[in-house]
Structure 1
C-alpha cells in the first residue's frame, strides 16, 4: 500500500496545485480525480463492520444553519454570548455561518455522493419556539420538514438531536434557564412537539448533545454560554454545574418517557442521548494515579451515564460532592434509569491524569472536585484543568489545530470498551469523531488533508477492533460534514470533510471525504 499512498499524494498535490491556479471549480474537480485514483483505506470497508452498520456525518444547527435571527427564529443563549467582545475568536458570529438553511440540498447531495447513510443534525429549539414555549414558528417547522423530506428522498437517514448547546435566550432571561426546574417541563413540551411533528419520518432521536459540556463549560468555568462561574460576573462553580446536570438528566428522561409512552409504539423509532468521553489514562501505575483516572471517568461520562444505567450518580461523586450533589427521588430514579435505547459516544482524544488532592486553599468547583491534575495549558474544553500531554517526556500523541485535541487512536478503543464493560454493553453510536486544521488554510491546502485521512483511518481501525472484541456499536458519525462556526474558535478551526470558503460559501470536498467514499462504498 505504501507506493500507492505515495503516488496518491503526488497526484493530489499536482491536481490541487493546478486547480488552484485554474480557479475554484477546478479545485473540486482536481480533488475528485485524486480521490477516485488512490484514496487509501487501510483495508477498511463497509464489509469490515457488522451488517447494518451506519456511516454518517454530524453537525449542529447553530454551527451550520445561519439565519440566526431571521424567518422567525428567536435568539439562543449563544446569540447573546457571541455579542460579548473577546469571547469568540475575531468576534465572529453564527448569523450566517455556512448557510445550510438555504444550501441544505447541496450539502445532503454531497453526503449521498460520498456514500454516507445518515446525517446527525440538530433542531434549533428557538427556531421552533422563539420564546422557548408557547407560539410556534411555522417557518422553522417548514425548514426542518424540507430538510428531513429531502434527506429521505435521496436516501439519507435522519438522526435528529433536540439540543446542541442552544437554549432559547428567553428562558434564560425569564427564569434562569437550565438552573430552574421549570426547564424540565419546557424541554419535554418542545420534545413532544418534535416527536409529533417529525416522528413519522424521524426514527432516531437524541435528546441532548454533550450535556457535560453544557454544565461544565457554561457553569463551572464560564467558557461557554451562558458564561457563569464563581469568578465570572455571576455564578457558583461549586453548585451550579451539578444543578444544571441534574435538570438535564431529568429533562432527557421526561422526554424519553413521553416518546416511549405516546409515540414509540406507533412511530417505531428509538431515543437516546449523546455524551462526550475523553479517555483518561493514569500518568503512572500508582494506585493514586489510577484512582484519579477512574474519578475522571466518573466525573466525565459517568456523571450522566451512571444515573441513566444504574439510577444513581457514581459513588465517587456522591462521596466528594456530598450535599452539593442533587438527589433523585424514587419516582425520578424510575424515570431516569433505563431511559435510553442507545447512547452516542463523542470521542476525540485522550489525556494522562495524576492524583491531586485538595488543600486548604482549594476553591470548591466541579473541576476541583475531580481531585486530579492535568499538565497542559488548555483549560476549558474536555478536561477540567487541561490535558497532561506527556509521560516521561513522550507526548500522548501528536496535536491537531485545537490545543485540547491530541491524536490518540487507542483512546477510542479504551473508551468504547469501557462503556461496554462498565455499563452493560449498551447499543452505542460513535456519534462524533474528528480533528481540525487551522482556519486560515487556503482551498488548495485545505482539501489536501492527509493528516485527517490518517486520523480517521487510525481511529476507525480501533473502533473496528473494539467491535470485534464485542462492543455493541452500530454506527459511526464523522465530525463534521462541513467547516463551520466552531464555538469559541469561531472560524479559526476547520473540522470539515468539506472545505467551505467562508467568503463565498462554496463547498469543496476534501481528500478525507473521498477517503470515506472509498471506505463506505467498498472501493479499496
Structure 2
C-alpha cells in the first residue's frame, strides 16, 4: 500500500546505510517469461474515502484531518487515469474495492452506485487490454462493524467478510480473474492492535507509541491475525466452491516482507534472523501451507496464540493460489533472547530480536523513519523470493508493491526512483532465473496518493498529482517515461545505475 508501512515492523532506532548490489545486471522486458505481467497499483481508500475506520481516524487525528477533503475528490479522475495506464503501456493494474462503497452498512443491502462505479472502472480496464488484479480488502473496515463487535477481534467478521467477497465475485468475477483477499494481515496485526499506529489504534503500555485507546498489545495482534486468516480461507473456499468453474479465476493473499540478514555470522544471530522470518512472513504463510503457525511462535507466544481446530487447520492448508508480496527494504536482525523473561511481551518482544535497517543496531525503542528513508537493497527481494521458494514449495508469487517515496518538493526528474526500480526488477529476474515462481511485478504507485504515515508529504507516483489544483493535474515523472519505454519498446535496464536514455519529464 505504501512504503511508509515498512517502519511498522521496526522496533529500534536505526542509522541508515546504503546496501549495494555486488553485481550489475542488464536486461529487457523480453528477458522475462511471456506470461509475466508488469503493472502498477493504487488503493481505494488512498484515492477517496467512505465511512470506514480509516476515515474516522483521519477525521479525529489532527495530523491527518487536512487530508480528508483532498482524498474525497480524487475518485472522479480514475477513468482518465486508465487512459494514462494504457498510454504508459501497463500490462496490469492492481486496484482495491472499498467494502463501505459496495456495502455501506458492512452487511446486507448492496449499494447500486458502488457496483456501477466499479463496473465502469473494470469495463474501461478491459477495453484498454489491461489485466485486472483486485485487492478485496485494503484496510478500510466499515466503521459499523468496528462499533458493533470490534471488527477483526471478533470471529463474527468471518461471515461478514465472506458475504462481502461473495458480492465482489458475483458482480465483477466475469471480468476479474486475479483476486487478493487481504492486504498485509501481518502489518494489520501489529499496526492496528499492538503499536496503535493504525486505526482502530489498539495498544497498551509499555508498547504503545502514541496516546491511543488502551487495549492489550500482548494478545490482540494474534487474535486479529487469527481471524484474518480464517476469513481469507473462508473466502478462498467460497470462490473455489461457487465461482471457479464458471469464472476461472485465482485467489491469493498478500503479506508484507523485508529482506532479512543476520547481524553477524554468530549462530545466535542466524537463529534470530530465522525467528524473524517465522514471526513476520511465516505468521501468515505457514498456516496456509502447513495448517498451523510456526513452531517457534507456538513455543514463545504460548497460550496467547490462538489455536486452530482440526477443521480450521484443514480449511487453511493449501487455501491460496498465489502469495503477493509488498516489499520495500531490508533489515539486519540481532539476537535479543536474553531479554525474553523480562516483563510482558508484545509482537516485538516475542520475536526476541532487535532489528535495524543498518548494522548499527541501537538500544530498543520504537522509531518510524520518514518514508524517504527507505534504503534500497534489491538483493533482499531476491533473497525473500528464493526463501519462499525453498520454504513453502515454490508457490506462485506476485510482487504486488515495490517503490520509492520522495518528498513532494522533488523534481519530476526522479532518477533516484528509476535506480531503485531498476534494481528491484533486476532482482526479481534473478530470482526467476534461480527457479522462483514469480508471476508479476507492480510498481507502487501509479499516481501520487495519500500515504498512511506520511499523508501527501511523501509521494511514490510514476505520475505526480497537483492536489491543490481544481483539476488534480497529472504529470508524468521521468520514471513514467522510463517504465513506458521498458514495457512498450523493450527498453534496456541496467541495475548498476541509470543510463542517459534521453528521457525528459514533462514540466
* Partner Cα separation in structure 2 for residue 403 and residue 507 of structure 1: 21
Counting matched residue pairs gives 454
Conserved 8 A contact 1:94-1:485: no
8 Å contact kept, 1:344–1:431: yes
In structure 2, the partner of 1:420 is 389
Match of 1:367 in 2: 348
Structure 2 CA distance for aligned equivalents of residues 338 and 360 of structure 1: 36
Stretches of structure 1 lacking an aligned partner (at least 5 in a row): 1-40, 70-74, 375-386, 394-398
Out of 356-365 and 417-426, give the one that drifted further.
356-365
Kindly report which structure 2 residues correspond to 1:281-300, keeping only aligned pairs within 5 A, or say none.
281-300=261-280
Deviation at 1:92, TM superposition (A): 3.4
Q: CA-to-partner distance for each residue in 1:374-397, whole Å, 9 max, x for gaps?
A: 3xxxxxxxxxxxx2413599xxxx
Q: Is the 8 A contact 1:434 1:479 kept in 2?
A: yes
Displacement, 1:487?
1.1
Post-superposition CA distance 1:405-449 (Å, at most 9, x none): 2111110110111011111100111111011001333xxx1x100
What is the CA-CA distance between 1:83 and the residue it aligns to?
2.1
TM-score (norm 2): 0.87
Per the alignment, residue 331 of structure 1 pairs with 311
Counterpart contact for 2:372–2:404, Cα < 8 Å: no
Distance 2:140 2:479 in 1: 29
Aligned pair in 2 of structure 1 residues 194, 95: CA closer, same or farther (>3 Å)? farther
In the other structure, the counterpart of 1:21 is none
Structure 2 Cα separation of the partners of residues 502 and 392 of structure 1: 38
- RMSD, aligned CA: 1.9
Check conservation: 1:63, 1:94, Cα contact below 8 A.
Answer: no
Are the counterparts in 1 of residues 372 and 458 from structure 2 also a CA contact under 8 Å? no
CA contact (8 A) 2:70 2:467 kept: no
1:369 Cα deviation after fit: 0.5
**1:451 corresponds to:** 416
1:506 match:
473
Q: Tell me, in whole angstroms, the C-alpha distance in 1 between the residues paired with 2:25 and 2:95.
A: 29
CA contact (8 A) 2:340 2:349 kept: no
Give the one of 467, 482, 486 matched to 1:515.
482
SS state at 2:323 partner: strand
| Conservation of the 8 A alpha-carbon contact between 2:372 and 2:406 | no
Separation in 1, partners of 2:174, 2:236: 16
Q: Distance in 2 between matches of 1:352 and 1:52?
A: 34
- Pair 1:79 & 2:48 matched: no
Q: Tell me which residue corresponds to 1:18.
A: none
In 1, Cα distance between the equivalents of 2:280 and 2:318? Answer: 19
- Structure 1 stretches of 4+ moved >6 Å: none
- The separation in 2 between residues aligned to 1:480 and 1:392, in whole angstroms, is 31
Any residues of structure 2 matched to 1:166-315 within 5 Å, and which? 166-231=140-205, 232-315=212-295
* CA deviation map 1:468-488 (0-9, x unaligned): 010000111111111110012
Counterpart selection for 1:463 from 406, 417, 428: 428
Distance 1:492 1:359, change over 3 A: same
Distance change >3 Å, CA 186–CA 57, structure 1 → 2? same
CA contact (8 A) 1:274 1:343 kept: yes
